[in-house]
Amino acid sequence: MLQVNNLTFQYKKKPILKNISFTVNTGDHFSIIGESGSGKSTLLKLLYGTYNLNEGQIFWKDNEILGPKHNLIIGPEYMKYVAQEFDLMPFITVSENIGAYLSNFYPEEKQARIQELLNVVELQPYAHTKAKELSGGQKQRVAIAKAIAKQPEVLLLDEPFSHIDNFKKQSLRRSLFKYLKEKQITCIVATHDKDDVLSFSDEMMVLHEAKIIAKGTPQQLYKNPENKLIASFFDEFNEIENYGILYANQLKVVKKSDLKAIVNQSYFKGYYYLIEADLQGEKVYFENDKALKSGLSICLSILKM
Ligand code: ADP
Ligand code: MG
């Protein structure tokens, strides 16, 4: 397993990460979430050995992961890292980029492996396209395929689908994460997209102000969000006096209740509308199957999760 003990790191004066400790089991899918600037990318880079730690240690199994002070080449051979700004060789094809780390000793095996990887990232039609002619999202998929080509034990992914459009994202995500699980590749994903986490992560943790503020399964954190930051990662939510944090789908219009509100606006969301209403001077959000007229008086009741 991956073990992080008491890690502290700063680029300049201000600590970016303070006393960070966690473990990731072999073969698990682990997510790091947090607002922009919370240190997700920095943490992934540290796991890869990019910088020297100020304090603490990182281990994969019995190997300590050390920074550049102790290593000529950054990145242990059992680990691959796909950065937020992925780099490819622009003048060679997608297939050649994906195969860049593969040995030429068995050309047929190499070609078969490249085909398999093209399937995982759904880029078969672009096998012979030069990397420089690809869109940002396509490049990101090539970078992922290249990183898993030699079956690393650990894969670090920094916002892996951030450049990929919604048309492709859902199926690509399923395809990649299923592949990693099958091959038991330990995968650590920094993300701000709940869809990367909810259906796939064995565990997740939340970074805020240099610390881990929550850790658990997606189910645990979703069902019991300890604060607004965590709730806001998952969904629209409300904080209502005496009731605490409630997701928009936990409020429902009923004929009679003590929670009386006035409708402000309805937002079409596909199979439901998100309704914004005024509850004793506070904005509340709830889901309803129909749009409601602005100014309408309603009563709300709370559904248990
Ligand atoms: P995230 O990935 O969660 O958005 P980052 O790890 O990229 O966060 O950044 C965390 C903090 O570290 C930010 O305040 C950022 O400005 C700072 N930072 C990131 N990289 C560097 C660097 N190379 N030198 C100095 N400060 C940096
Ligand atoms: Mg980042």
Nearest CA to ligand 1 atom 15: 37
Same domain for 218 and 284, yes or no, is no
> What are the residue ranges of helices labelled H in 149-296?
166-182, 218-223, 228-234
User: What ligand 1 atom has the least distance to the C-alpha of 36?
Assistant: 4
3-state secondary structure of 49: coil
**Is there a single domain that holds both residue 182 and residue 285?**
no
Mutual angle of helices 166-182 and 136-148, in 10-degree steps: 0
Proximal ligand: closest to the CA of 51: 1
Q: 13 CB contacts (<8 Å, ≥6 apart)?
A: none
Please tell me whether residues 215 and 261 are part of one structural domain.
Answer: no
- Rounded CA separation 8/293 (Å): 53
- Tell which residue, 102, 92, 103, has the closest CA to residue 127: 92
- Is there a domain that residue 231 lies in? no
Sign of CA dihedral 162, 163, 167, 172: negative
For the CA of 38, the closest atom of ligand 1 is 3
CA of residue 59 to ligand 1 center, whole Å: 23
Q: Is residue 255 part of a domain?
A: yes
Domain count, the chain: 2
Asked if 242 and 173 sit in the same domain, the reply is: no
Q: Calculate how far, in angstroms, residue 158's C-alpha sits from the geometric centre of ligand 2.
A: 7
Whole-number Å distance, alpha carbon 74 to ligand 1 midpoint, is 19
Parent domain of 256:
236-302
Task: Clarify whether residues 120 and 180 are in a common domain.
Answer: yes
Whether residues 61 and 116 share a domain: the answer is: yes
Q: Please tell me the number of the ligand nearest to residue 162's CA.
A: 2
The answer to whether residue 228 sits within a structural domain is no
Residue 40 CB less than 6 A away from ligand 1: yes
Evaluate: CB of 11 within 6 angstroms of ligand 1.
yes
The answer to the question of residue 63 being in a domain is yes
Q: Is 45 in the pocket of ligand 1 (CB under 6 A)?
A: no
Per-residue confidence (pLDDT) for residue 44, from 0 to 100: 98
pLDDT tens, N- to C-terminus, the chain (305 residues): 999 999 999 999 999 999 999 999 999 999 999 999 999 999 999 999 999 999 999 999 999 999 999 988 899 999 999 998 877 999 999 999 999 989 999 999 999 999 999 999 999 999 999 999 999 999 999 999 999 999 999 999 999 999 898 888 999 999 999 999 999 999 999 999 999 999 999 999 999 999 999 999 999 999 999 999 999 999 999 999 889 999 999 999 999 999 999 999 999 999 999 999 999 899 999 999 999 999 999 999 999 87
**Nearest CA-CA partner of 20 in 203, 153, 202, 210:** 210
Based on the fold, state whether residues 57 and 201 are members of the same structural domain.
Answer: yes
**Residue 131, pLDDT score:** 95
Nearest CA to ligand 1 atom 25: 11
**What tokens were used for 26?**
């072999």
Digit-coded pLDDT (tens) for 170-189:
999 999 999 999 999 999 99
CATH number of the domain to which 22 belongs: 3.40.50.300
105 and 218 assigned to the same domain: yes
Q: Where a domain ends, among 202, 223, 244? A: 223
Measured in angstroms, how far is the CA atom of residue 205 from the centroid of ligand 1?
A: 18
Q: 29: Cβ below 6 Å to ligand 1?
A: no
* Tens of pLDDT, residues 129-178: 999 999 999 999 999 999 999 999 999 999 999 989 888 899 999 999 99
What CATH number did the domain enclosing 267 receive? Answer: 2.40.50.140
Ligand 1 closest atom vs CA 43? 6
Indicate which residue's Cα is closest to atom 14 of ligand 1. 37
Which helix (H) or strand (E) covers residue 239, if one does? strand 237-240
Helix 136-148 to helix 107-120 angle (10° resolution) is 130
Please indicate, yes or no, whether residues 101 and 249 belong to a single structural domain of this protein: no
Q: Ligand 1 atom 27: the closest Cα is on which residue?
A: 11
